[in-house]
Amino acid sequence: MSRYLGDAWALPYLDPQIRPFFTSGVIRIQLCRSCDAPQHPPDDVCHACQGTEFTHRDSAGLGTVHSFIVVHHPVHPALTERVPYAVALITLDDMPQIRLCGNIVDLAPEAVSIGQRLRATFEEIHDAETGEGLTIPQWETLTS
């Protein structure tokens, strides 16, 4: 599948903290083993109890647009042909304290608005350099 920002756009370096979010095929959020608090972005120490051991919690992948921007001026040469594009900030239904950035793959930038209901979708990418398969979380409009 073709990527929202183009197939030439950057890819993540998969360190152990990053890996679950971008390879699991679900919205996978860091969870503290001691106190069960989810946090994003992942960190080395739990912000609620200072625990240092983590597992994860999978979201059902439903969310709402909390804020968004529409980028017109490309700040990177690889995006010159891609502007305008929208970046949304999404709150998760089942972990409302978590906010994720994402693109809404089925909406034109001018059609994005706060409060829109979304469902997670995933860009499946083969990283030719590392040989790894990635599932980059993205979003599409939820039609009930």
Is the separation of the CB atoms in 127 and 133 below 8 Å?
yes
Does position 100 interact with other proteins (CB under 8 A)? The reply is yes
Is the separation of the CB atoms in 109 and 86 below 8 Å?
yes
In the complex, minimum distance from the CB of residue 33 to other proteins, in angstroms, rounded to a whole number: 19
Give the separation between CA 42 and CA 16, rounded to whole angstroms.
Answer: 10
Give the separation between CA 1 and CA 85, rounded to whole angstroms.
Answer: 18
In the complex, minimum distance from the CB of residue 81 to other proteins, in angstroms, rounded to a whole number: 13
Shorter beta-carbon distance to other proteins: residue 89 or 142: 89
Q: Of 1, 13, 34, 133, which one interacts with other proteins (CB under 8 A)?
A: 13
Backbone angles phi, psi at 11, to 5 degrees: -125, 155
Q: Of 7, 15, 53, 81, which one interacts with other proteins (CB under 8 A)?
A: 15
Q: Of 1, 69, 108, 111, which one interacts with other proteins (CB under 8 A)?
A: 69
Shorter beta-carbon distance to other proteins: residue 13 or 33: 13
**How far, in Å, are 14, 28, 48 from residue 51 at the CA level?**
23, 19, 8
Give the separation between CA 132 and CA 68, rounded to whole angstroms.
Answer: 30
Shorter beta-carbon distance to other proteins: residue 62 or 79: 79
Tell me, by CB under 8 A, how many residues bind other proteins: 43
Does position 72 interact with other proteins (CB under 8 A)? The reply is yes
- The continuous run of DSSP H or E covering 7 comes out as none
Give the separation between CA 34 and CA 67, rounded to whole angstroms.
Answer: 32
Interface residues with other proteins (CB under 8 A) are 4-5, 8-13, 15, 17-18, 21-22, 39-41, 43, 47, 66-73, 75-76, 79, 82, 84-85, 87, 89, 97-103, 114, 136
